C-alpha cells in the first residue's frame, strides 16, 4: 500500500480551512432536524415522545431519516435541551432540572458538574443512592449568587457496577468498605456471595441492587478475591480495578495472543515496500521492552534526505471484534504507575511486535523527502517491512550528539538532530508554546520493593529529536486526512480559557511586560495568545518570575483531547494533528491506522468502531483516569519515601500559590507537597492577585513563586499520597 502526495509551499501554512462547510455538512442536517424536534417538544412540553413519534410528526418514514432523528435526539440530550426519562422515551427538560455527573472527590457538600456554568451542591442525604461518577438528574432546590443547591431526582446511569475494597466478615453477614470513599451508603454482602474470601481480604464487589430511597443501602456480591489487603501487589490490583482497568488478562485473551502467527509470508513481503536495506534504528529509554517506532534515513543524489518514520503494524495482527481488540478498546491506553505498568495489550504480544534490532518487522510508515532546512517536498504513506540495525537508549544517542564520529549511525543521528532543531524552530515561530520540560520522577527500590531514592528524570536532546519526528508523523497523517476528507481520530487542543488567560495578561502588565493587544482585548486570536505567552516566558528576568508565569500559562491551557472533528492543536501550533505512533499503548493509534488503511487501500476494511464520537469520549475519559492513577501512584511513593524524614529540615522552592496554600517542591528530590497558608503563624497572610505574592498583613513578610523556603513535614498519608509541610 502506497499513497504519494506532492506538497506545495503553502501546504503547512496556517489556513482558514475552506473545506470546513463540506466537513460539517452532515452536522448541519442534524442541527436543522434538532431545531424542528425542539419545536415539537416545546408545543407539547409535558408529553413523552419516542423516536417513532417524532419521526411521524415530521413526516419522516425512511430509514436514513430515522437515523438522523436518532442523532438529533442524542445531540439535544447532550446539550441539555431534552432528557431521556426512560430508554427510548424523551421529554423536554424541566428548567429546574440539570443533568450531570456526581463528583464525590471533594468534601461535603457534594459537587455535581452539570450543564450550568456554576457548580451544583448536593448534601449526602439528598444523593438518593447515587455514587461517584453516576450520571444523575438533579432538581435545583435553591439558587444563590455563587452556587446552586439540589437533590437527586433520578439516577440515569451508574458509573461502575464494581468497586475494590476490604471485606469484614462476621458470623452472620459481611460488610464491604470501598478503598475510595465515593459511596455514601452501607454495603452489606450476604455470606453466600463472598466466595472464598476471609476477613480482611481485598476483594472486588459487583453491586446488583441499588435503592432509590433515603436509606441508600447497596448490596452486592464478591466477584474476585485479590488477597491480603496489606500486600503491595494486592493494593495495586485493587487500585486498578476500582478505576476500570483490570489488573490482568483473562486466560482466553492470553490464549488468543499466543495463537497469533508472526511468521512473515512471501506474499505479504511483495505487498509491502521493502526497506530492510536502509539505515534504520530505534531510540528509546534504557531497557525498553516495548518498542513502537523506528526511524530511517537515506541520503538522495541531490543531497536531500528521505526520512522514514516506521510504526509497528499492530493493526495487522489485532483484528476488529477479537477478544484482544475489545479488551484494548475498553482499557484505551497503557497505564504507567510508579512501580507497575498495566499494559493495554498482553506483554507476550507486544514483545513479538516490538521493533528489536536484527528482526524483520511489519510496519506502517510515512516517508518524507526533506532538504537541509527541513522543508518537506513529498510524502508517502506506505506499508513496509523493515529491519532495525541498532537499538539506542537516549543516553547512547546523546553521547553521539555530544561527541560526533565518522561512524554511520553517528552521522545519521546528528543529521536527524540538526533537522529536528529546524523543525522545532519552525513550530515555535508558528506559535507553539515553549514550556520548561515537564518534571518526571524516577524511583529507585530495594530488594523488598521499598522506595530508597527519588530523583527527577534527566532530559536529553535525543528525546527532543525523537519527539519532533513523531510529532511530524502525526501532523502529516492528520493534514492528509483533512485535505482529502478522510475520517480520522484527531488530537485537538483548544484556545486558553478567557478568564485565566486575561489573568495572565493582567499579572504580566503589573510586572511591566509588553503585550500584544487586539481590539483592546488581550489575545483575541490564537496567534496573538501564543505570542503573548511565549514572549513573556522568554523574557522572564528571575527564577521567581519564570515560575509564576509558567504556572499561570499552564493554568490557562485547555486540556488536549480526542475528536472526530478536525480542529487546530493550539499548543503545538498545528492545524491538524493525530496520535499515530504508539499503537501498543494507545487504542486511538490502532484506530487511526485502520481508518487510514480503509481510506487509502481497502474501503470495505472494517475499523471495529462505528461511532467515532462515542469512541473519542471513551478515550478521553479513560485517559483522564489513567493520568489520575499515575499521579496518585507517584504521590503515594513520594509519601512513602519521606516517611523516615519527619524530623528533618528540608529545603524547597515555591512553585505554585493558590488562595489557601502553596505548593512546595523539595530541591533535592523534586517531591512536591502542600504548605497551607494557615501554617504561617504569628500573622494573617493574604494573596495579592495582581502579583500572586502572599503578604503578611502585619509583618509585611512576603512569599512568591520561585522563592526558596525551609520546611518540615507535618503530615503524611501514604494511602492517599498527601504530604503537608510547615515552615521550619
244-267 confidence digits (pLDDT tens): 677 778 889 999 999 998 888 889
Which tens digit of pLDDT belongs to each residue from 523-534? 446 667 777 787
DSSP codes of every residue in 156-193 = EE-S-SEEEEEEEE-SS-EEEEESS----S-EEE-GGG
pLDDT of residue 122: 80
Lowest mean pLDDT among 417-421, 497-501, 576-580, 718-722: 497-501
In 540-611, which residue ranges form alpha helices assigned H by DSSP? 543-556, 587-600
- pLDDT > 50? residue 633: yes
Three-state DSSP class for residue 27: helix
- pLDDT > 80? residue 303: yes
Which tens digit of pLDDT belongs to each residue from 643-659? 889 889 999 888 888 88
pLDDT of residue 333: 92
- What is the rounded average pLDDT of the residues 384-408? 92
Percent of the chain at pLDDT above 70? 84
* Helix H or strand E encompassing 462: helix 461-484
> How far is residue 243's CA from residue 621's CA, in Å, rounded to a whole number?
11
Q: Which residue has the higher pLDDT, 519 or 565?
A: 565
Neighbours of 322 (CB within 10 A): 16
Q: Which residue has the higher pLDDT, 520 or 539?
A: 539
CA dihedral 114, 117, 119, 122 (to 10 degrees): -40
- What is the rounded average pLDDT of the residues 294-301? 91
- In our burial notation (b when 16+ CB lie closer than 10 A, e otherwise), range 289-312 reads ebbbbbbbbbeeeeebbbbbbbbb
Q: Which residue has the higher pLDDT, 266 or 690?
A: 266
pLDDT of residue 466: 94
Three-state DSSP class for residue 26: helix
pLDDT of residue 25: 46
**Of 56-60, 154-158, 380-384, highest mean pLDDT:** 380-384
Domains 97-157 and 643-727 fall in the same CATH topology: yes
pLDDT of residue 26: 54
C-alpha cell at 487: 475520517
Three-state DSSP class for residue 208: strand
pLDDT of residue 10: 42
pLDDT of residue 208: 62
Closest CA to 585 of 554, 619, 609: 619
* Helix H or strand E encompassing 281: strand 280-284
Three-state DSSP class for residue 480: helix
With beta carbons less than 8 A apart as the criterion, state whether 239 and 233 touch: no
With beta carbons less than 8 A apart as the criterion, state whether 352 and 291 touch: no
Listed in sequence order, the residues at least 6 apart from 139 whose beta carbon sits closer than 8 Å to its beta carbon are 94, 96, 97, 150, 151, 152, 153
With beta carbons less than 8 A apart as the criterion, state whether 130 and 155 touch: yes
Cell 495568545 belongs to which residue? 529
Which homologous superfamily does the CATH classification assign to the domain defined by 643-727?
Nucleic acid-binding proteins (2.40.50.140)
Which tens digit of pLDDT belongs to each residue from 196-219? 787 878 888 777 655 444 445 567
pLDDT of residue 20: 39
DSSP 8-class letter at 291: -
pLDDT of residue 526: 65
User: What's the farthest any 2 CA atoms get from each other in the chain?
Assistant: 84
CA atoms within a 13 Å half-sphere pointing along the CA-CB vector of 682 = 4
pLDDT of residue 525: 61
Burial of 59 (0-12, 13-18, 19+ CB in 10 A): exposed
Three-state DSSP class for residue 499: helix
* Helix H or strand E encompassing 652: strand 650-657
**Of 68-72, 213-217, 443-447, 538-542, highest mean pLDDT:** 443-447
Please write down the long-range contacts of 125-129, taking CB distance under 8 Å and 24 or more positions apart. Answer: 125/214, 126/150, 126/151, 126/152, 127/102, 127/152, 127/184, 127/216, 128/152, 128/153, 128/155, 128/212, 128/213, 128/214, 128/216, 129/155, 129/185, 129/210, 129/211, 129/212, 129/213, 129/216, 129/217, 129/218
CATH level 3 topology of 20-92: Arc Repressor Mutant, subunit A (1.10.10)
Q: Are strands 561-563 and 650-657 parallel, antiparallel or unpaired?
A: unpaired
pLDDT of residue 176: 79
pLDDT of residue 161: 64
Q: Which CATH class is domain 162-242?
A: mainly beta
**Of 155-159, 214-218, 445-449, highest mean pLDDT:** 445-449
Q: Are strands 187-189 and 162-169 parallel, antiparallel or unpaired?
A: unpaired
> How far is residue 599's CA from residue 576's CA, in Å, rounded to a whole number?
17
pLDDT of residue 370: 92
Q: Where are the domains positioned within the chain?
A: 20-92, 97-157, 162-242, 497-554, 643-727
Banded pLDDT at 683 (limits 50, 70, 90): confident
Strands of 287-345, DSSP E: 293-299, 305-312, 335-336, 341-342
> How far is residue 427's CA from residue 39's CA, in Å, rounded to a whole number?
47
pLDDT of residue 598: 86
Which tens digit of pLDDT belongs to each residue from 104-132? 655 555 666 554 456 677 877 777 767 76
Closest CA to 726 of 648, 613, 655, 668: 648
pLDDT of residue 519: 39
CATH level 3 topology of 97-157: OB fold (Dihydrolipoamide Acetyltransferase, E2P) (2.40.50)
Lowest mean pLDDT among 209-223, 311-325, 358-372, 446-460: 209-223
Look over the chain and give the mean of its residue pLDDT values, rounded to a whole number: 81
- pLDDT > 80? residue 134: no
Instruction: Give just the sign of the alpha carbon dihedral 494, 498, 500, 505.
Output: positive
Q: Are strands 376-387 and 273-274 parallel, antiparallel or unpaired?
A: parallel
Listed in sequence order, the residues at least 6 apart from 100 whose beta carbon sits closer than 8 Å to its beta carbon are 112, 113, 114, 115, 120, 135, 136, 138
C-alpha cell at 16: 482558514
Percent of the chain at pLDDT above 90? 25
Amino acid at each position: 500500500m502506497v499513497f504519494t502526495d506532492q506538497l506545495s509551499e503553502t501546504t503547512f501554512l496556517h489556513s482558514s480551512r475552506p473545506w470546513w462547510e463540506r466537513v460539517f455538512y452532515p452536522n448541519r442536517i442534524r442541527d436543522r432536524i434538532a431545531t424542528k424536534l425542539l419545536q415539537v417538544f416545546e408545543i407539547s412540553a409535558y408529553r413523552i415522545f419516542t423516536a417513532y413519534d417524532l419521526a411521524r410528526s415530521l413526516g419522516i418514514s425512511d430509514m436514513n431519516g430515522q437515523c438522523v432523528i436518532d442523532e438529533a435526539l442524542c445531540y439535544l440530550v447532550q446539550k441539555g435541551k431534552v432528557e431521556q426519562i426512560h430508554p427510548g422515551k424523551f421529554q423536554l427538560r424541566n428548567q429546574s432540572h440539570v443533568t450531570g455527573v456526581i463528583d464525590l472527590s471533594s468534601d461535603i457538600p457534594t459537587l455535581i458538574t452539570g450543564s450550568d456554568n456554576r457548580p451544583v451542591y448536593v448534601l449526602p442525604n439528598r444523593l438518593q443512592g447515587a455514587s461517584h461518577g453516576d450520571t444523575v438528574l438533579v432538581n435545583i432546590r435553591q439558587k444563590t449568587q455563587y452556587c446552586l443547591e439540589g437533590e437527586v431526582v433520578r439516577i440515569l446511569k451508574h458509573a461502575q457496577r464494581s468497586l475494590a475494597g476490604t471485606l469484614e466478615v462476621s458470623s452472620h453477614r459481611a460488610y464491604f468498605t470501598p478503598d475510595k470513599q465515593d459511596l455514601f451508603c452501607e454495603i452489606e454482602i450476604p455470606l453466600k456471595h463472598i466466595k472464598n474470601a476471609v476477613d480482611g481480604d481485598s476483594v472486588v464487589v459487583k453491586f446488583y441492587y441499588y435503592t432509590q430511597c433515603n436509606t441508600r443501602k447497596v448490596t452486592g456480591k464478591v466477584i474476585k478475591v485479590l488477597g491480603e489487603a496489606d500486600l503491595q501487589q494486592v493494593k495495586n490490583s485493587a487500585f486498578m480495578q476500582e478505576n476500570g482497568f483490570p489488573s490482568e488478562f483473562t486466560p482466553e485473551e492470553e490464549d488468543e495472543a499466543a495463537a497469533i502467527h508472526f511468521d512473515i509470508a512471501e506474499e505479504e513481503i511483495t505487498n509491502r515496500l521493502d526497506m530492510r536495506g536502509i539505515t534504520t534504528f530505534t531510540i528509546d529509554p534504557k531497557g525498553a521492552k516495548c518498542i513502537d517506532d523506528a526511524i530511517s534515513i537515506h541520503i538522495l543524489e541531490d543531497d536531500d534526505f528521505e526520512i522514514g518514520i516506521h510504526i509497528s503494524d499492530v493493526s495487522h495482527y489485532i483484528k476488529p471484534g477479537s477478544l484482544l481488540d475489545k479488551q484494548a478498546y475498553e482499557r484505551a491506553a497503557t497505564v504507567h504507575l510508579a512501580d507497575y505498568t498495566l499494559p493495554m495489550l498482553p506483554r507476550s504480544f507486544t514483545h513479538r511486535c516490538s521493533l528489536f534490532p536484527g528482526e524483520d518487522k511489519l510496519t506502517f510508515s510515512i516517508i518524507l523527502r526533506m532538504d537541509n532546512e527541513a522543508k518537506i517536498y513529498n510524502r508517502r504513506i506506505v506499508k513496509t517491512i523493515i529491519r532495525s540495525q541498532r537499538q539506542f537508549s537516549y543516553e547512547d544517542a546523546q553521547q553521539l550528539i555530544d561527541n560526533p564520529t565518522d561512524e554511520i549511525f553517528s552521522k545519521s543521528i546528528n543529521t536527524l538532530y540538526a533537522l529536528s532543531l529546524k523543525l522545532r524552530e519552525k513550530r515555535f515561530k508558528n506559535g507553539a508554546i515553549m514550556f520548561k520540560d515537564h518534571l518526571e520522577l524516577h524511583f529507585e527500590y530495594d530488594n523488598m520493593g521499598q522506595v530508597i531514592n527519588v530523583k527527577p528524570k534527566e532530559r536529553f536532546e535525543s528525546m527532543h529529536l525523537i519527539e519532533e519526528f513523531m510529532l511530524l508523523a502525526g501532523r502529516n497523517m492528520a493534514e492528509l486526512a483533512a485535505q482529502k476528507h478522510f475520517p480520522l481520530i484527531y488530537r485537538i487542543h483548544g484556545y486558553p480559557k478567557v478568564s485565566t488567560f486575561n489573568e495572565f495578561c493582567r499579572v504580566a502588565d503589573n510586572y511591566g511586560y509588553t503585550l500584544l493587544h487586539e481590539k483592546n482585548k488581550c489575545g483575541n486570536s490564537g496567534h496573538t495568545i501564543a505570542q503573548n505567552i511565549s514572549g513573556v516566558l522568554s523574557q522572564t528576568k528571575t527564577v521567581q518570575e519564570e515560575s509564576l508565569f509558567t504556572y499561570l500559562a499552564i493554568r490557562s491551557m485547555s486540556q488536549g483531547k480526542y475528536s472526530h472533528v478536525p480542529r487546530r492543536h493550539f499548543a503545538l501550533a498545528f492545524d491538524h494533528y493525530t496520535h499515530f505512533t504508539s499503537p501498543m499503548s494507545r487504542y486511538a493509534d490502532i484506530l487511526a491506522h485502520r481508518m487510514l488503511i480503509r481510506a487509502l487501500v481497502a474501503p470495505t476494511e472494517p475499523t471495529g468502531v462505528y461511532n467515532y464520537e462515542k469512541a473519542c469520549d471513551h478515550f478521553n475519559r479513560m485517559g483522564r483516569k489513567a493520568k489520575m492513577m499515575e499521579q496518585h501512584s507517584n504521590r503515594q511513593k513520594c509519601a512513602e519515601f519521606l516517611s523516615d524524614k519527619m524530623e528533618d529540615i528540608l529545603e524547597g522552592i515555591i512553585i505554585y500559590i493558590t488562595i489557601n496554600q502553596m505548593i512546595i517542591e523539595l530541591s533535592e528530590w523534586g517531591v512536591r507537597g502542600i504548605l497551607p497558608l494557615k501554617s504561617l503563624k504569628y500573622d494573617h497572610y493574604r494573596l495579592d492577585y495582581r502579583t500572586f505574592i502572599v503578604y503578611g498583613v502585619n509583618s509585611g513578610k512576603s512569599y512568591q513563586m520561585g522563592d526558596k523556603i525551609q520546611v518540615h513535614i507535618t503530615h503524611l498519608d501514604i494511602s492517599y499520597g498527601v504530604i503537608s509541610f510547615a515552615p521550619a
